[in-house]
Structure 1
Amino acid sequence: MTPTAPPAPPKATLLTPFTYSLFRAIWIAGLVSNVGTWMQNVAGVWLVTTLTTSALLVAMMQAATSLPSFLLSMPAGAMADMVDRRKLLLFTQGFMAVVAAILGTLTLMGQISAYGVLGFTFLLGMGAALNAPIWQAVTNELVPRQALSFAITLNGVSNNIARAIGPAIGGAIIAYYSAGWVFVLNGVSFLGTWAVVYFWKREHTLTSGPAENFLGALRAGLRYVQYSPAIYGVLVRTFAFSFGAAALWGLVSVVVARKLHLSSGHYGVMLSWLGAGAVTGAFLMGRAGERLNFNQRVLLGVLMFGVTNLSLALITQIYILYAVMFLSGIAWLMVMTSFSTTVQLSVPKWVQARVISVYMLVFQAGLSLGSLVWGELADHLTLEISLLIAAGWMLASALLAIPFPMRSAEGLNLDPAEHWPDPETEGHIDPDDGPVVIMIEYRVEPADWPAFRTAAEQLKRLRLRDGALRAGVFADVAHPTRLTEFYYVATWGEHQRQHHRFTKEDQAVEAQVRRLHSGPEAPRVSHFVAFPNTSNVEPATPMQTLESQR
């Protein structure tokens, strides 16, 4: 009797992540915090708009929010991969609660200036920059991989529900009371998130291989991005999109106040329509996912934002602009979830927060630089011309879909392969000993050289991505069929970490190389550690120090 196969797990849907109680609790806490953040954004931008006549200072509010991410995203990502993420979240949420409370108190006392608002916004941006990579990486611990794309979409929904109702609430509080009360309420919202994270009993994650130091972790994250073409392509398109989209975020309040001569309430409603569009877009993503791939979703979103900037420049009817903002919200969610999902599904857990931090750094760098450029153009030319140029940039950036297409990552198996046996050693080798050279000897017939060269080049990229400083393939001049792959690693500990970084997806590349080996035995692997106090080891001290010792 043939045993029946176990039933396939039910297909994940948009609501699947909510079946996991921990994700549900953190999502609700995040929603409350996001509402407070969007109330804060509206209050801060509007307060600066009323305290100064400079469009550049108003646009710099976006830069004050985004610039800290440019400065702190990478350190935050490294810390999130090295230490307890729960403790980091408790620190960042508490820090932002204190900053928001002080800003609110000073505003209610009438002791705040435009530059003061910018300064406190920068401090809040620092807290958000430290918090964001951790928050996104934590999602992977709350739901299984098959539900991750929906969890990321729901995180976007949370932010956009907040964008839909937060600005309206914030605008109403500003109109009837004071921006200071908005800042105080934002501080309270951070305390709610702090409490949920405090009661989270996070499972301890076991690490494989020697522990990394902080600078080494930073270098590993950057190296992984450098040698991952799929990630690199996402980053290029992310910067192009965020740079052009910054015109909307940086200048929409100026459009409402200076061009349309409307109140803060209308500004809040404009952002609410954008948020409502994004929430609607989340429920359209299921059908879009069956018909449109990530590349097509991003392309449509980029084109829509070009139309948005064009509309803000040319249209004066507020109700038409509401409709444009609604469509822009749908486009925003499509683009941002496509970027974020591709990044998170394309990297293994050991480097996830660091790659996310690079992605967020590039995104925020585009927003910061774009805000400054579009604000400066609005001051020196006109508001309309600045928006028209931004529209042209966005439409031209759509061409990046040709050289940098988005690739699906849902089927990748990024679990550690753990298939390399520990090398045989005579005695103890300190993890800091090095450099280390690894040589793998193959026998390859001349007819297979073209295929071997192609496969070895792919394997070389993986070696460099996972920690090698140099890599290559050499042929024996006396026996050309004997080919030796080598790669050079800084320390023995870094090579041990390489063993644990190699994924099951990478095994397919390694298998292509090994299939072309024609020798009677398996490829021979040799490990060499630099012999100390010899001239073949590069000195670790500067040349000036060596000269002084002579």
Structure 2
Amino acid sequence: MRWWSLANLVSNAGTWMQLTVQNLLVLEITGSAAAAGLSVSVQAAPALLISLLGGAAVDRWPRRTTAAVSQALLGLVAFATAALVATGGMNLPVLLVLAAVTGVVATVDSPACALLGNDLVRPEDVPSAIGVGSLVSNAGRLAGTALAGVAVGFLGTAAAYAANGLSFLFVTAVIPFLRPVHTAAVRSRTRQRTRDERGPGHDLTVRQGLVFFLRRPRLLALAGVTGISAVFGRNYGLTLAVLVTGPLAGDAEQFGTVSTVLAVGGIVGAVLGARLRRPSVRLVGLLAATGGLLQVVAGLSPSLAVLLLLVLPMAVAETVSDTAGTTVLQTDPPAHLRGRVLGVWGSISKAWGLAGPPALGLLMEWAGARGALVAGGLVVAGAIAAGSLLHRRRTVAPVLLPAGERGPAARPELGTAA
């Protein structure tokens, strides 16, 4: 697990180096901000459309092999991009094709790598492993963003893509040496339990994963909480940027300070999230609602100093909520369905990711930065509170009868209520 975490730290740093310079590259080629947005959409489109197929592939194929091949392919795409940029052969159509290929491979790579990390620890340690992954992701984001400026300043844009390619190859080289924690006996019991879970009508179709997700109330609740937060909350890179440079009369350097505090809060939240043993959807909702209320207060901040005091707990609440939600998502389904469930999640989360910024942009046009933060936070907290109240009203409390009045007919009813 330590080797896997190191590999992911290197990979995340490389990925953020590339993401940091990608929009700059498009602007250099075309001079068009619309083209930069188009490249982001083209890379995101496969996750929206075919994540279900990617998840099914992860359930069908050996996990380590799948992760190693997908990482190697992503490395080759990064090296190809670096070579074309360095030789002057890059143009917008080629860049869009490479972005689309990256998006397609990522639909398999993301669930494969997520589940491979879980295989390296005991089942009871999976929440901690997911927390470590969140910590590595935030640390890699900080390191990659900083290294991108250094690489571009001294070596040019192609260097960031080449560094990302090397990071993928490093992960590929580490994967063959990873060994799942399960012994042969545990694997045998797991296979038998999986066969029992599958039942006589089991298959490995995409439809089965979708049906499982839609019939699982706690996963639907998790999707609702995460979706409302993604559309009306979070997206702090957009809302806080407008707040700092607008009503608070700050500049880019001051927004950089806010971004740094957000990143530090993400690391603190990841450390706290790693301590969760059995998180629930209720905890995810409580943290998301807390983040929404903090967002409301942040929208009313009279100064940058007050905003900085609020940004840290906002980031902590967001990261712990994300870690708890990811744990539920990756441990709730049976083993043979986890890839497809993550595929379903990949599609709907990408839809939220694409819908959130435009929705917040329109809200800021109508209500301003402060109004958008306040209104969005109230929507998040209010929707989660309403959903919780509705769930409580639908839950029938068990009726405990005196011992003498308990009959055989009462037992199934009590069991069902429990």
* Common fold by TM > 0.5: yes
Q: Note the alpha carbon deviations across 1:75-110, whole angstroms, 9 max, x for none.
A: 121122222111211221011001111112222234
Q: Note the alpha carbon deviations across 1:36-85, whole angstroms, 9 max, x for none.
A: 11111111133345556655544455534433221232112112222211
Letter in 2 for 1:337: T
Counterpart-to-counterpart distance in 1, 2:161 and 2:90: 12
Q: Which residue pairs with 1:69 in the alignment?
A: 47
Q: Which residue pairs with 2:319 in the alignment?
A: 333
Relative to structure 1, is the Cα distance of residues 100 and 223 closer, same or farther in structure 2, using a 3 angstrom cutoff?
Answer: same
**1:206-225 maps to which residues of 2 (within 5 A)?**
206=191, 208=195, 213-214=203-204, 217-225=205-213
Residue pair 1:168, 1:269 contacting (<8 A) in 2 also? no
Q: Which residue pairs with 1:364 in the alignment?
A: 350
User: Are positions 1:226 and 2:214 aligned together?
Assistant: yes
Q: Which residue pairs with 1:294 in the alignment?
A: 284
Q: In the alignment, which of 28, 40, 45 is matched to residue 23 of structure 2?
A: 45
How much has 1:368 moved relative to structure 2? Answer: 1.8
**1:481-492 maps to which residues of 2 (within 5 A)?**
none
User: Are positions 1:80 and 2:70 aligned together?
Assistant: no
Letter in 2 for 1:187: G
Counterpart-to-counterpart distance in 1, 2:284 and 2:143: 28
How much has 1:29 moved relative to structure 2? Answer: 0.7
Larger RCO (CA within 8 A; separation ≥ 6): 2
How much has 1:348 moved relative to structure 2? Answer: 2.1
Q: Which residue pairs with 1:343 in the alignment?
A: 329
Which structure shows the higher strand fraction? Answer: 1
RMSD of Structure 2 on Structure 1 (CA): 4.1
Q: Which residue pairs with 2:14 in the alignment?
A: 36
Residue pair 1:166, 1:272 contacting (<8 A) in 2 also? no
**1:514-525 maps to which residues of 2 (within 5 A)?**
none
Relative to structure 1, is the Cα distance of residues 326 and 59 closer, same or farther in structure 2, using a 3 angstrom cutoff?
Answer: farther
Letter in 2 for 1:155: G
- TM-score (ref. length: structure 1): 0.59
Q: In the alignment, which of 120, 123, 127 is matched to residue 98 of structure 2?
A: 120
User: Are positions 1:196 and 2:192 aligned together?
Assistant: no
Q: Which residue pairs with 2:79 in the alignment?
A: 101
Letter in 2 for 1:354: R
Counterpart-to-counterpart distance in 2, 1:403 and 1:255: 29
- TM-score (ref. length: structure 2): 0.76
Relative to structure 1, is the Cα distance of residues 187 and 343 closer, same or farther in structure 2, using a 3 angstrom cutoff?
Answer: same
Relative to structure 1, is the Cα distance of residues 89 and 237 closer, same or farther in structure 2, using a 3 angstrom cutoff?
Answer: same
User: Are positions 1:173 and 2:132 aligned together?
Assistant: no
Counterpart-to-counterpart distance in 1, 2:271 and 2:355: 32
Q: Which residue pairs with 1:524 in the alignment?
A: none
Q: In the alignment, which of 271, 291, 315 is matched to residue 283 of structure 1?
A: 271
How much has 1:401 moved relative to structure 2? Answer: 1.8
How much has 1:287 moved relative to structure 2? Answer: 7.9
Residue pair 1:306, 1:390 contacting (<8 A) in 2 also? yes
How much has 1:374 moved relative to structure 2? Answer: 5.0
Secondary structure of the 1:293 match is: helix
Q: Note the alpha carbon deviations across 1:226-273, whole angstroms, 9 max, x for none.
A: 11111110011222222345744568889999997758xx88776544
Residue pair 1:137, 1:356 contacting (<8 A) in 2 also? no
Secondary structure of the 1:402 match is: helix
User: Are positions 1:132 and 2:115 aligned together?
Assistant: no
5+ residue gaps, structure 1, are 1-22, 407-446, 456-507, 514-550
Relative to structure 1, is the Cα distance of residues 286 and 102 closer, same or farther in structure 2, using a 3 angstrom cutoff?
Answer: closer
How much has 1:392 moved relative to structure 2? Answer: 2.8
Secondary structure of the 2:65 match is: helix
How much has 1:387 moved relative to structure 2? Answer: 8.3
5+ residue gaps, structure 2, are 390-406
Relative to structure 1, is the Cα distance of residues 390 and 321 closer, same or farther in structure 2, using a 3 angstrom cutoff?
Answer: closer
Deviates more, 1:235-244 or 1:164-173: 235-244
Relative to structure 1, is the Cα distance of residues 287 and 94 closer, same or farther in structure 2, using a 3 angstrom cutoff?
Answer: closer
Relative to structure 1, is the Cα distance of residues 40 and 405 closer, same or farther in structure 2, using a 3 angstrom cutoff?
Answer: farther
Counterpart-to-counterpart distance in 2, 1:232 and 1:449: 32
Counterpart-to-counterpart distance in 2, 1:25 and 1:367: 31
Letter in 1 for 2:283: N
Residue pair 1:90, 1:194 contacting (<8 A) in 2 also? yes
Relative to structure 1, is the Cα distance of residues 307 and 121 closer, same or farther in structure 2, using a 3 angstrom cutoff?
Answer: farther
How much has 1:199 moved relative to structure 2? Answer: 2.8
Q: How many residues are treated as equivalent by the alignment?
A: 385
Relative to structure 1, is the Cα distance of residues 300 and 45 closer, same or farther in structure 2, using a 3 angstrom cutoff?
Answer: farther
User: Are positions 1:354 and 2:337 aligned together?
Assistant: no
Q: Note the alpha carbon deviations across 1:473-509, whole angstroms, 9 max, x for none.
A: xxxxxxxxxxxxxxxxxxxxxxxxxxxxxxxxxxx75
Q: Note the alpha carbon deviations across 1:408-443, whole angstroms, 9 max, x for none.
A: xxxxxxxxxxxxxxxxxxxxxxxxxxxxxxxxxxxx
Counterpart-to-counterpart distance in 2, 1:177 and 1:30: 24
Secondary structure of the 2:46 match is: helix
Counterpart-to-counterpart distance in 2, 1:391 and 1:363: 23
Residue pair 2:59, 2:338 contacting (<8 A) in 1 also? yes
Q: Note the alpha carbon deviations across 1:430-486, whole angstroms, 9 max, x for none.
A: xxxxxxxxxxxxxxxxx988986x68xxxxxxxxxxxxxxxxxxxxxxxxxxxxxxx
Letter in 2 for 1:299: A
Identity percentage over the alignment?
A: 22
Residue pair 1:157, 1:282 contacting (<8 A) in 2 also? yes
Secondary structure of the 2:333 match is: coil
How much has 1:192 moved relative to structure 2? Answer: 0.4
Q: In the alignment, which of 207, 213, 236 is matched to residue 224 of structure 2?
A: 236
Residue pair 2:283, 2:321 contacting (<8 A) in 1 also? no
Residue pair 1:173, 1:181 contacting (<8 A) in 2 also? yes
Letter in 2 for 1:333: T
Residue pair 2:139, 2:267 contacting (<8 A) in 1 also? yes
Q: Which residue pairs with 2:382 in the alignment?
A: 399
Counterpart-to-counterpart distance in 2, 1:51 and 1:267: 27
